[in-house]
Amino acid sequence: MNQYREITENGLWKQNSGLVQLLGLCPTLAMTVSLVNGFSLGLMTALVMAASNASVSPIRRLVPTEIRIPVYILIVAALVTLIDLLMHAYFHSLHAVLGIFIPLIVTNCIVLARVEAFAAKNPVVPSALDGFMMGFGLALVLAVLGGVREIIGKGTLLSGIDLALGASAKAWVITVLPDYHGFLLAILPPGAFIGLALLIASKNWLESRKQAAQPMTPSPAAAH
Amino acid sequence: MKFSPFFTTNTSVSVVMLKVMLALVPGIIAYVWAFGYGIVVSLILASATALLAEAAVLQLRKRPVMPFLLDGSALVTAWLLALALPPLAPWWLVVVGTLFAIIIAKHLYGGLGQNPFNPAMIGYAVLLISFPAIMTQWPAPLELTSAKLSFVDQWHYIFNRALPTGIGLDAMSSATPLDYLKTQLMLHHPIETIAQAKFFGTFAGKGADIVAGAYLLGGLYLLHQRVISWHIPTAFLVTLALISGVFHLVNPAQFASPLFHLFGGATMLCAFFIATDPVSGATTPNGKLIFAAGIALLTWLIRTYGGYPDGVAFAVLLMNIFVPLIDANTQPRVFGHSK
Amino acid sequence: MSEPQNIWKHAISTAGVMIAFSVLGTIVLAYVFLTTKAPIAEAEREAKLKLLEQVLPASLHDNDLLKDTLPIAAGGELNNREATLAYRARLQGKPSAVILETIAPDGYSGDIKLLIAVKADGEIAGVRVLAHRETPGLGDYIDIAHGDWIKKNFDGQSLAKTVDDQWKVKKDGGSFDYMAGATITPRAVVKATHKALQYYAAHQQEIFASSELGAN
């Protein structure tokens, strides 16, 4: 049980791929113009990661070391294509918005990194959990970054939710700042860099405050 | 005042900054003459915002507030930004730009002396890409417009976006000459025809060329006082004149004259006050020449082919990126050491 | 391991594993591709129809717009840079409207692709921008996602309502709105729409009758 807790903590906070490992920055920067965009791409990534970790783990002793990378890539690419096709068929409008960034999940280094670093050495269930939690941690970062950029840039929240959940969800869109002119910088690429930098800074600040609060007790995770 | 030891270390900075501000005064006077008092409101707004932001951040960073505040660097940033903005910009535009310049471009990178990018130009670039409609809308020079706004009217416009009854936005605003040139060229009008437009003055935009001349005057004072060295202004102006001159000679209908480039837009302000920023610019003599020539080249390219009318801000920021590289490769050889 | 025989054995088994995974991946993907083929085609169709519906109300046609199309060659009177399509709408067999794809070549930063629906009587049912690269925050108000300029200015317009020399933005002495600081973009859209209306007026019969429009 303890192991699962640690995997979850690592994925969501301690080793968060968006804020700590800084892997997978391409979608982080490009797709976070709104909360819905950011979170849906993050969720796709989490699904791909869970599935690829779960499929690599059982075959980890079957694959000779020399060709493990090509085989892993093959598995990840097949899974991504599969998700791409399914989304194209059943979530067409969301697929149109995320566009090229769905197939690009293949090249997201966080996917291969977790396959190689975790799934290739661990049993199926922890591997799947690790993949999902790492991806979900990224999804949360994308959601927060997307949400902040959306509020500052357009003054709304959850715009585009109808693309994911159908036209009836359009009523969920929140206008946070009515009569807002919009601060375009937040939506444009520089806003992504500045936003991510501020998020990383806030995480580091939270950590350092936590450390300052309990200066002498060495945490059990420190040995790790 | 007892701020020692800090005060002594900062004296040189504040004297330099004071001279820079003094050198800007002729430009500001010309500006008021050409476009009215609105610019003074912008300057005051930007200065107040800059000082407050600087003090707040210094406090947060647990640095001594007063000595750094009195060094004047924040004020210079504020003035340069205000002078680069359209003079009747709404108050919040000035405030947002200044906050960005001081907090993000200056202090998040470590404060005075540490910022890799020119803070005033970051503020300008942020505003330009975020609010292009407001940033490209300039008031018509007073000489030309029948809709003369009094100081109170301009004040009202800056704070409430309200014009006196009977005066439409079209009557008091105009495109900038650089903008007009670009849009007209796109419609395949030759430059001779375009330059007939009433807001073209002797060299460039009417009124604006006088302001540019006044900046040049202030710049010469800075050179005389040895606040800045000759390298950057000379390399910048000569390169810009050369490249625009060559293209103008080849096809005068399509490419604006060197005089237009030298006295139009923010050229003069950039040559003596912006590119010469000692923190974000190159420091070696040869490096300064390369740095300034690069800015001139990029400015001309962006003005001629880019999506935004003036290119000075982007040119300066892009060359700021190259500064470490330029400096590292242009270190003067120490005597007795071979390269 | 150093014996040649073992090296061969190892190489072959490695290749075998690689091939096995390739085949397995291919089978899975082929299966998914085949099963999603129909839903994807259907989804694309729906998306296209939804787009056409934005400019042409569903009540104006009972035929399948996507099947009743007419290629318009590049160049010609519309002067499109590339070949485009005209979608013909019919109500109980009678022509009710046509949707023209056109390209305004003179935007501030390149081509602006437009969808223009003209009712049989020459009145505009709607205009939408399909693709553009205008400056964000400045020229992009022509896009329905950034403002209703395009609705306000074109819905219900026609050559009869606005005479030829009024098809300009107000700044140029015409009757179409623009936003200060961005006149090139609306100018391009107004010009392209005007041209499309003239094209329709001149070729109305051909459009509904013929099976192909040349660059005449």
pLDDT in tens, B96-105: 999 999 999 9
A contact test, residue of B95, B100, B126 with most A CBs within 10 A: B126
Which residue of B lies nearest to A194 if distances are taken between CA atoms? B104
Least confident of B225-229, B276-280, C81-85: C81-85
pLDDT of residue B8: 44
Q: B195 pLDDT band (50/70/90 cuts)?
A: low
Q: What is the DSSP string of A16-34?
A: -TTTTS---HHHHHHSTTS
B186 reaches C (C-beta below 8 A)? yes
A39: distance to nearest CA of chain B, Å?
A: 25
Residue C213, pLDDT above cutoff 60 = no
Higher local confidence (pLDDT), B245 or B181: B245
What is the count of structural domains for chain C?
A: 2
Residue written as token pair 């499109």: C80
Residue B197, pLDDT above cutoff 80 = no
pLDDT tens-digit series, residues C135-177: 777 788 888 877 888 888 888 888 888 888 888 888 777 888 8
A188 reaches C (C-beta below 8 A)? yes
Contact B129 A184 (CB under 8 A): yes
Contacts of B134 in chain C (CB under 8 A): 181
C37, C55, C73 - which closes a domain:
C55
Tell me if A224 is assigned to some domain.
Answer: no
Cβ atoms of residues B260 and B204 within 8 Å: yes
Q: How far apart are CA A160 and CA A172, in angstroms?
A: 10
- List phi, psi (to 5°) of C89: -100, 135
Which residue of A lies nearest to B96 if distances are taken between CA atoms? A183
Tell me if A213 is assigned to some domain.
Answer: no
Under 8 Å CB pairs connecting chains B and C tally to: 33
Residue A168, pLDDT above cutoff 80 = no
Under 8 Å CB pairs connecting chains A and C tally to: 55
C145 C-beta neighbours (distance < 10 Å), count: 7
B130: distance to nearest CA of chain A, Å?
A: 4
Q: A224 pLDDT band (50/70/90 cuts)?
A: very low
Q: How far apart are CA C102 and CA C128, in angstroms?
A: 11
B144 reaches C (C-beta below 8 A)? no
pLDDT of residue A212: 82
A66 reaches C (C-beta below 8 A)? yes
Tell me if C215 is assigned to some domain.
Answer: no
Higher local confidence (pLDDT), A144 or B145: A144
Q: What integer is the mean pLDDT of B156-170?
A: 68
Cβ atoms of residues B263 and B271 within 8 Å: no
Instruction: Work out the angle at residue B304's Cα, subtended by the Cα atoms of residues B137 and C111, and round it to the nearest 5 degrees.
Output: 80
Contact C181 B137 (CB under 8 A): yes
Q: C214 pLDDT band (50/70/90 cuts)?
A: very low
Tell me if C49 is assigned to some domain.
Answer: yes
Residue B1, pLDDT above cutoff 50 = no
Cβ atoms of residues C33 and A85 within 8 Å: yes
Which residue of C lies nearest to A188 if distances are taken between CA atoms? C136
Contacts of B96 in chain A (CB under 8 A): 183
> Which of A56-70, A205-219, B226-240, C50-64 is the most confident on average?
B226-240
Contacts of B307 in chain C (CB under 8 A): 108-109, 135
B34 reaches C (C-beta below 8 A)? no
What is the count of structural domains for chain A?
A: 1
pLDDT tens-digit series, residues C2-23: 567 788 888 888 889 899 999 9
Q: What token pair was written down for A89?
A: 């068929």
Residue B325, pLDDT above cutoff 90 = yes
Facing residue for B129 by CB, picked from A181, A185, A194: A185
Q: B6 pLDDT band (50/70/90 cuts)?
A: very low
Facing residue for A67 by CB, picked from C18, C32, C39: C18
Q: Are residues C106 and C12 in the same domain?
A: no
Facing residue for B183 by CB, picked from C109, C137, C184: C184
Residue B35, pLDDT above cutoff 80 = yes
Q: C216 pLDDT band (50/70/90 cuts)?
A: very low
Chains touching chain C at 3 or more Cβ pairs under 8 angstroms?
A, B
pLDDT of residue B326: 93
C142: distance to nearest CA of chain A, Å?
A: 17
Q: What integer is the mean pLDDT of B10-15?
A: 70
Q: Are residues C154 and C73 in the same domain?
A: yes
Q: Are residues C120 and C19 in the same domain?
A: no
Contact C181 B183 (CB under 8 A): no
Tell me if A136 is assigned to some domain.
Answer: yes
pLDDT of residue B300: 93
Q: B187 pLDDT band (50/70/90 cuts)?
A: low
Q: Are residues C201 and C110 in the same domain?
A: yes
Residue B317, pLDDT above cutoff 90 = yes
Q: Which domain holds residue A24?
A: 2-203
Complex ipTM: 0.75
Tell me if C214 is assigned to some domain.
Answer: no
pLDDT of residue B244: 93
Contact A184 B130 (CB under 8 A): yes
| 3-state SS class at B221 | helix
> Which of A100-114, B44-58, B248-262, B302-316 is the most confident on average?
B44-58
Q: Are residues C2 and C96 in the same domain?
A: no
Contact B307 C109 (CB under 8 A): yes
A93: distance to nearest CA of chain C, Å?
A: 8
Q: Are residues C3 and C85 in the same domain?
A: no
Q: What token pair was written down for A3?
A: 């192991």
**What are the residue ranges of helices labelled H in C126-183?**
149-154
Contacts of B130 in chain A (CB under 8 A): 183-185, 188
pLDDT of residue B167: 63
Q: How far apart are CA B188 and CA B254, in angstroms?
A: 9
Cβ atoms of residues B38 and B87 within 8 Å: yes
Contacts of C135 in chain B (CB under 8 A): 132, 307-308
Contact B129 A183 (CB under 8 A): no
pLDDT tens-digit series, residues B198-224: 666 666 667 778 888 999 999 999 999
Q: What token pair was written down for B274?
A: 């912006």
Tell me if C103 is assigned to some domain.
Answer: yes
Q: Tell me the CA distances in angstroms from A173 to A98, A158, B159, C144, one per residue in order.
A: 19, 5, 32, 18
- List phi, psi (to 5°) of C129: -90, 125
Q: Which domain holds residue C106?
A: 59-209
Contact B170 C180 (CB under 8 A): yes
What single-letter DSSP state applies at residue C3? S
Which residue of B lies nearest to C181 if distances are taken between CA atoms? B133
A contact test, residue of C9, C10, C18 with most A CBs within 10 A: C18
Tell me if A210 is assigned to some domain.
Answer: no
C7 C-beta neighbours (distance < 10 Å), count: 11
Residue B145, pLDDT above cutoff 80 = no
Q: Which of C158, C159, C185, C187 is nearest to C173 (CA)?
A: C187
Least confident of A155-159, B113-117, B205-209, B333-337: B333-337
Q: Are residues C165 and C191 in the same domain?
A: yes
Chains touching chain B at 3 or more Cβ pairs under 8 angstroms?
A, C
Contact B130 A194 (CB under 8 A): no
Burial of B47 (0-12, 13-18, 19+ CB in 10 A): buried
A58 reaches C (C-beta below 8 A)? no
pLDDT tens-digit series, residues A12-55: 888 888 788 787 787 778 888 888 888 888 888 899 999 999 98
pLDDT tens-digit series, residues B60-95: 888 888 877 778 889 999 999 999 998 888 899 999
pLDDT tens-digit series, residues A171-199: 777 777 777 777 888 888 888 999 999 99
Contact A78 C136 (CB under 8 A): no
Facing residue for C184 by CB, picked from B130, B170, B186: B186
